[in-house]
Structure 1
Amino acid sequence: MIDYRTPLSDLLFALRHGAGAARLPHWDDETAETVLTHAAAMVDGIIAPLDPVGDIEGTRLVDGRVVMPQPFVDAYRQFAGDGWQGLAVPEEDGGQGLPHILASALSEMLSGACITYQMVLSLAHGAMRTLAASGSEEQRKTWIPRLAAGEYLATMCLTEPQAGSDLGLVRTMATPQSDGSWSISGGKIFISGGDQNLTQGRIMHLVLARTPDAPPGVRGLALFLCPSLLPDGSRNPIQVVRLEEKMGMHASPTCQVAFDGARAEIIGAPGEGLARMFTMMNAERLDVAVQGVGLAEVALQRSLAYANERKQGRAGKDTGPDIIARHGDVRRMLLAQMALAMGCRAMVMRTLVDLELGDRPALMELMTPVCKAFATEAAMEAADHAIQVHGGYGFLREYRVEQILRDGRITRIYEGTNGIQAATLAGRVIRLDNGKALSEFKAEVEAAMAVASPAFAQGLGRALAAWNEAGPLLLARKDIGLTATAYMRLTGLVAFGSAWARLEAAAGHAANPARIRAVAAFVRDWMLPEACHLAEMCRNPSELGSLPDEVFIA
């Protein structure tokens, strides 16, 4: 079936009119369009063809080293050589100094074209942000240029068999050495890109580890920079002990990694590990949201192509079979896919612009989990619709829509499950700063309503009223277990509606204004009304804590 094609006009429309990228002081619209046009040609011509290769061939562990398909190695050599990895890195660090939002737009393209390729590359961007925020001057000068040039890739080594979401259970130990370095010993699991041959195994691992005599829990953790190669060129004692076999993401190597006295240097001080790692974790959560947008987009593209080609039955008065794009139920699914891809793109890109501006940290605390959860749920809904639009063919590998579901399913899990994002929002974020995040969010929605058409503003207003009602109900609860996910969905739906208010208002600037207006009406009439149901769920007084343990015995 068709390869991904970059929706360049939709991307530029979302950046200009959904995200408000011109708010960035260093934004230049002409430069942005030129860069993304070149990026689209590269992604469509070089990266998109990798997707079926990666799914079929996957990765292999040979003599303790990970081997990726050769076309991935060749593509990376050209990608890094052309400077794409350093797109948003400051010029003094060897990059091109462009806005971070352009790197995120590129990340969306890569995710739609071949998410396994994007996944291996993406952690380097979070690592560079972590070093820029928390590294010493020497660490920044040494490692950011190497990552920006694509000479090294990076990992994020948090998870252990007994320490998944609860990082306070981490056992990996870091012991100080007489020369000022540290020695790390322990095992990590689910390490994306734990080894690869794109950079001939040159990897900068960021590792959370416990220091001697440290207090229990997360207060005892520190963050370490642990390179795969030592200064003399020999290999640091870091070993891949297992390459996981997965449901999807076959070309993204997910490794179990053992550190056996590996040399490392500390970033910051003992006890600061989790706080410093949060720079990378939050960057990766938004990058996963971007992955969700890319997956929703490719699901839409394949659905539209098939629905305008496949003929079945009669949808109208014409004789003979019609293309299924004329059938009502298929149109419903296509509209939903369009709504999810375009709306999530605008919502996530606006959040990334706000993050780059840095003037509303409370709102970013709220929108980071919302974007991660809502966009990845949207990707799975879009993929499910794609399979259904294809009918029986959707169940076959040949049509490459079931792969979207397999590859994307992990996005609801990694970088903090969507349940954890919901619990974070409902249990912590809405209680911060005396409700500052909530007031800033409400102001964002009201600003979107102010530019919307009267009909859309009215629909969005009803959704906002439902959200306003749900917040105090949640704050009054002792047990958020049954309602956190509903509140997350409600918040995401209102943010998504705000994104569509802005897109509808600017429809005349779109490549296909009729499509934007039709999808906006679908969002208004068929999606936003869900907000009232979600608020009703938040009102329900039931609590999971009151149920007897016997209910849950295996």
Structure 2
Amino acid sequence: MNYRAPLRDMRFVIHELFDVSGHCALLGNGLDRELIDGVLDEAARYTGEVVAPLNRNSDEEGVTLVDGAVTTPKGFREAYRQYVENGWASMTGPIEFGGQGFPQLVACNFHEMLMGASLSFRIYSGLTEGAVLALYKHGSPELQAAYLAKLVSGEWTGTMCLTEPQAGTDLALLRTRAEPQVDGSYKVSGSKIFISGGEHDMSENIVHLVLARLPDAPAGVKGISLFLVPKFVANPDGTPGARNALNCGAIEHKMGIKGAATCVMNFDGATGWLVGEPNQGLACMFTMMNDARFQVGLQGLGIAEQAYQGALSYARERLQSRALTGPAQPDKPADPIIVHPDVRRMLLTQKTLVEGCRMLAAYTARQLDLEHGHPDATVRHAAAKRAALLIPIVKAFFTDMGQEVASLGVQVYGGHGYIREWGMEQLMRDSRITQLYEGTNGIQALDLIRRKLLGDGGAELSALQAEFSELCDDQAKRPALRELAATVQARLGEWRELGAEVIAASQRDPQEIGACSVEFLQYSAYVLLAGLWLQAAARAQDALEVGSGEAAFYRAKLQSADFYLRRVLPRASAHREAIRGGAQCLMALDEDSFAF
């Protein structure tokens, strides 16, 4: 299955909806449209020609572990060499450590391309960017000098070591220990599981960020610290030095992403250094966790785009039956299946979910950029709150969407979708993990309710709703968009009411938090996408009214917005009714009654 970056739609989003050139001017990074477009062109070439051809073989070949050394699939090392030499690894890194300082609003497009081309390949570099963030924000000057430039360049890769066999979501159960040494270092001992890229042959060093407990640490999550534990301790000249006391004890045999090494990492008195303050490891780790969760959302988006491309190509080529209105192509023995309404339903569902999520990804990336780079502290604070509200929605909804779109791709292919050689079933297997790691989607939904909605009484959510309500008011004045605007405005009003109901119910009964969380996140995502589709329709209408030379592209945007609001947005009503069903029907059944 081929992958081709959706450059026209990406440019529509970043240039026409979010004015990336003005955004870059505001951030003062010197990037202009010509440079950005050139970068995206080269990104499309690299991901399409170098990375994508590795995806199928990596699934077949997998990784091997011999005497503690992991060998990655054929072609991965060469593709990663190009990734580093061509500057892709340093794209978002801080300039003072050799990075290029690209904003997320640009970089998220390249990262989506990587995910769509080969998720297994992207796994190895994905957490390095988060490690850079954590070390840049919390690391000592000495640690930064020794490790940060190599991580930024991609010569060294990074991992995030949280999970233990008994401690997954509940990090209070974590047992890994760190013993202080007289020289200021620590000896870290314990085992971590599910470590993406914990061992491999693509970079000369791997820098692990490990959560562990100090001897005098208080119990629970308040007693967790963060440590930098490298595979090879850095020499003063920046080269890899002595091998550390850590090893890969096993690799997991997984349902998908088989080209990515998911490792059991054993630390046996390994030398490490404290990152940040003692017992503040969770706060430090969350610096990279938010980036990781955004990136996992992009994984769902990238796989969904690939699945949509495959389904569309197949639907145009596969001849089966005749159109219900009579032969569409009478010169052929049958019509291509794209003429059938149900196939169109699946393709349009894929298309509108993918393109809607791409808009939401860009909207969120813009907030992340403003949070870290705007000159005004008030704007930075406001953007941080908005990004925090959106991250759990992006992570959970995008990955649920990726699984749905991949499943629809299998359905479009019919029996061939179930057969390995066509590639669609791999996307469905690969996408499944995205709903689980970096916090399951149920955990994301709890975060949205407990920390975000209840945390400020719904204030930030209200501000977001007001922003889209203003958009509806503006577009309701245009005859061509009046119906779309009215539909979105009605849903926004419903969303406000539902948010108030959820807050009130959660305050009466804590069980309601867990009972409604997933449904509320899903409802929120569908309405957010509706607002963004209205924004896209408004831009398309503008272009058509001035006589754009790409009339077909903009008409397709209007038609896609209409489909989304008529055929996808109604799903929100089911989520609303489920929320109003309450917790009682979930908790009333005695545990023993689940037995069979």
Q: TM-score under structure 1 normalisation?
A: 0.97
Is 1:345 the counterpart of 2:386? The answer is no
When the two chains are superposed, the root-mean-square deviation of aligned CA atoms in Å is 1.6
Unaligned 5+ residue runs, structure 2?
236-240, 372-378, 476-480
Give percent identity, aligned residues only: 40
Residues 278/486 of structure 1: CA separation in 2 closer, same or farther (3 Å cut): same
CA apart distance, 1:519: 1.1
- Who is 2:50 aligned against? 46
Q: In the TM superposition, what whole-angstrom CA distance separates every residue of 1:267-326 from its partner, at most 9, and x where no partner exists?
A: 111110001100111100000111111111001100110000001111132244111011
Question: What amino acid maps onto 1:498 in structure 2?
Answer: G
- 1:419 is aligned, of 426, 442, 458, to 442
Residues 419/18 of structure 1: CA separation in 2 closer, same or farther (3 Å cut): farther
- Who is 1:192 aligned against? 196
- Who is 2:376 aligned against? none
Is 1:457 the counterpart of 2:485? The answer is yes
Query: What does residue range 137-286 of structure 1 map to in structure 2 within 5 Å?
Result: 137-200=141-204, 202-231=205-234, 233-286=241-294
Instruction: Work out the CA distance in 2 between the residues paired with 1:337 and 1:16.
Output: 23
Question: What amino acid maps onto 1:530 in structure 2?
Answer: R
Identify which of structures 1 and 2 has the higher relative contact order when contacts are C-alpha pairs closer than 8 Å and 6+ apart.
1
Is 1:331 the counterpart of 2:344? The answer is yes
Q: Does structure 1 conserve the Cα–Cα contact (< 8 Å) formed by 2:58 and 2:74?
A: no
Bigger shift: residues 259-268 or 311-320? 311-320
Query: What does residue range 275-424 of structure 1 map to in structure 2 within 5 Å?
Result: 275-315=283-323, 316-318=325-327, 319=330, 320-358=333-371, 359=379, 360-424=383-447
- Who is 1:546 aligned against? 588
Instruction: Work out the CA distance in 1 between the residues paired with 2:148 and 2:18.
Output: 28
Residues 213/90 of structure 1: CA separation in 2 closer, same or farther (3 Å cut): closer
Instruction: Work out the CA distance in 2 between the residues paired with 1:471 and 1:257.
Output: 42
Question: What amino acid maps onto 2:277 in structure 1?
Answer: A
Q: Does structure 2 conserve the Cα–Cα contact (< 8 Å) formed by 1:451 and 1:505?
A: no
Instruction: Work out the CA distance in 2 between the residues paired with 1:244 and 1:503.
Output: 43
Bigger shift: residues 142-151 or 48-57? 142-151
2:182 aligned counterpart, secondary structure: coil
Question: What amino acid maps onto 1:217 in structure 2?
Answer: G
CA apart distance, 1:514: 2.5
Residues 162/121 of structure 1: CA separation in 2 closer, same or farther (3 Å cut): same
- 1:488 is aligned, of 504, 521, 525, to 521
Q: In the TM superposition, what whole-angstrom CA distance separates every residue of 1:231-256 from its partner, at most 9, and x where no partner exists?
A: 45221011111100000000010000
Q: Does structure 1 conserve the Cα–Cα contact (< 8 Å) formed by 2:14 and 2:106?
A: no
Instruction: Work out the CA distance in 1 between the residues paired with 2:470 and 2:296.
Output: 27
Question: What amino acid maps onto 1:491 in structure 2?
Answer: S
Instruction: Work out the CA distance in 2 between the residues paired with 1:374 and 1:131.
Output: 29
Instruction: Work out the CA distance in 2 between the residues paired with 1:134 and 1:164.
Output: 24
2:216 aligned counterpart, secondary structure: coil
Question: What amino acid maps onto 2:46 in structure 1?
Answer: M
Bigger shift: residues 396-405 or 428-437? 428-437
1:264 aligned counterpart, secondary structure: strand
Q: In the TM superposition, what whole-angstrom CA distance separates every residue of 1:136-190 from its partner, at most 9, and x where no partner exists?
A: 2232233221012111011000000000000111000011000000110000000
- Who is 2:16 aligned against? 17
CA apart distance, 1:468: 1.3
Q: Does structure 2 conserve the Cα–Cα contact (< 8 Å) formed by 1:248 and 1:407?
A: yes
CA apart distance, 1:380: 0.7
- 2:504 is aligned, of 476, 501, 513, to 476
Residues 345/169 of structure 1: CA separation in 2 closer, same or farther (3 Å cut): same
Instruction: Work out the CA distance in 2 between the residues paired with 1:20 and 1:373.
Output: 27
Instruction: Work out the CA distance in 1 between the residues paired with 2:229 and 2:470.
Output: 46
1:333 aligned counterpart, secondary structure: helix
Q: In the TM superposition, what whole-angstrom CA distance separates every residue of 1:348-405 from its partner, at most 9, and x where no partner exists?
A: 1110111111132222221000011111111111001100000000000111111000
Q: Does structure 1 conserve the Cα–Cα contact (< 8 Å) formed by 2:462 and 2:496?
A: no
Q: Does structure 1 conserve the Cα–Cα contact (< 8 Å) formed by 2:134 and 2:288?
A: yes
CA apart distance, 1:48: 0.7
1:293 aligned counterpart, secondary structure: helix
1:432 aligned counterpart, secondary structure: coil
1:214 aligned counterpart, secondary structure: coil
Equivalent pairs counted in the alignment come to 552
Residues 245/98 of structure 1: CA separation in 2 closer, same or farther (3 Å cut): same
Unaligned 5+ residue runs, structure 1?
none
Is 1:498 the counterpart of 2:531? The answer is yes
- Who is 2:375 aligned against? none
Question: What amino acid maps onto 2:398 in structure 1?
Answer: A
CA apart distance, 1:450: 4.1
Q: Does structure 2 conserve the Cα–Cα contact (< 8 Å) formed by 1:162 and 1:170?
A: yes
Question: What amino acid maps onto 1:485 in structure 2?
Answer: V
- Who is 1:4 aligned against? 3
CA apart distance, 1:451: 5.2
Q: Does structure 2 conserve the Cα–Cα contact (< 8 Å) formed by 1:374 and 1:489?
A: yes
Q: In the TM superposition, what whole-angstrom CA distance separates every residue of 1:432-462 from its partner, at most 9, and x where no partner exists?
A: 2343221222123224424542121111122
Residues 351/451 of structure 1: CA separation in 2 closer, same or farther (3 Å cut): farther
Instruction: Work out the CA distance in 2 between the residues paired with 1:325 and 1:166.
Output: 47
- Who is 1:28 aligned against? 32
- Who is 1:533 aligned against? 574
CA apart distance, 1:501: 1.4
